Amino acid sequence: MRQSLATLLSLGLVAAVACGAVAAEGGKEVDLALVLAVDVSRSMDPDEQQLQREGYVEALRSPAVHAAIRKGAIGRIAVAYVEWSGVAEQKVVMPWTVIEGAASANAFADQLAEAPIGRVYSTSISAAIDFSVRLLEQSGFDAERRVIDISGDGPNNTGRAVNRARDEAVAADIIINGLPFMLKRPNGFGDMENLDRYYEDCVIGGVGAFVVPIRSRTEIIEATRTKLIREISAAPDPEPAVVPAQGRESVNCMIGEMRRQQQWGP
């Protein structure tokens, strides 16, 4: 009998937690527990998904990232890599792994580079946040900081309200940062102008939370590396990546759901 998607996802989460617990035995205390939650919905073209993956792989191979890890008070972090799309569609691609230098970071990057990339319908940032919160809470790590890193190319359009998921995560002392992909002109209900502002108003939260928008393919590796270094070192941004227009109206956090309903009906 075929197992349901929900069952498989549940088993995947249990397996990830088990792997995290094993990793924690050798070094339970870490400076940072970080979930890299990446969008694999259909709005992301295959080449965009590949570039997104390469951005993380190359960033994890960067000596600057390795140096940032070593400079922490403990000198190690824990990382999990998750792909997400719809409400019931999250997959742990790389389970909790302790990274404490070049060797472990490169090994993580090499395994990530070889893993297949999923591609599924719908965009539920809220479900990705909720899944990542559970992953953090069950990781077994004693982390100075807990961070969820959300990357994607469109607004939440299914599942519960994204700002509610964000607010609950922040209340649990979890920081959410954003890496919005803005590589193409919006041409469908799943796209939107000023995605960086949507992320700023509706997705990110917590002390020091930030957005690093990606507007061209040539920026992906550098932007991802910069973002990881800031997350690892908790360094402030000397110049905010998103500067709201003075007096601008806040973005409607239900814009994605409204457009989906207009396209497909209630």
E strand or H helix at 150:
strand 142-152
The total of other beta-carbon atoms located within 10 Å of residue 64's CB is 12
The pLDDT tens digits for 48-106 are: 889 999 999 999 999 999 999 999 999 999 999 999 999 989 999 999 999 999 999 99
Please give the angle made by the CA atoms of 81, 58 and 117, to the nearest 5 degrees. 45
Residues linked to residue 152 through DSSP beta bridges, in sequence order: 180
- Kindly report which listed range (112-121, 145-154, 222-231) carries the lowest average pLDDT score: 112-121
Provide Rg for the chain, Cα atoms.
Answer: 17
Distance CA 88, CA 183 (A): 27
pTM above 0.75, yes or no: yes
The pLDDT tens digits for 184-226 are: 765 655 567 889 999 999 999 999 999 999 998 889 999 999 9
Closest CA to 224 of 61, 90, 111, 105: 61
Residues linked to residue 142 through DSSP beta bridges, in sequence order: 29
The total of other beta-carbon atoms located within 10 Å of residue 160's CB is 16
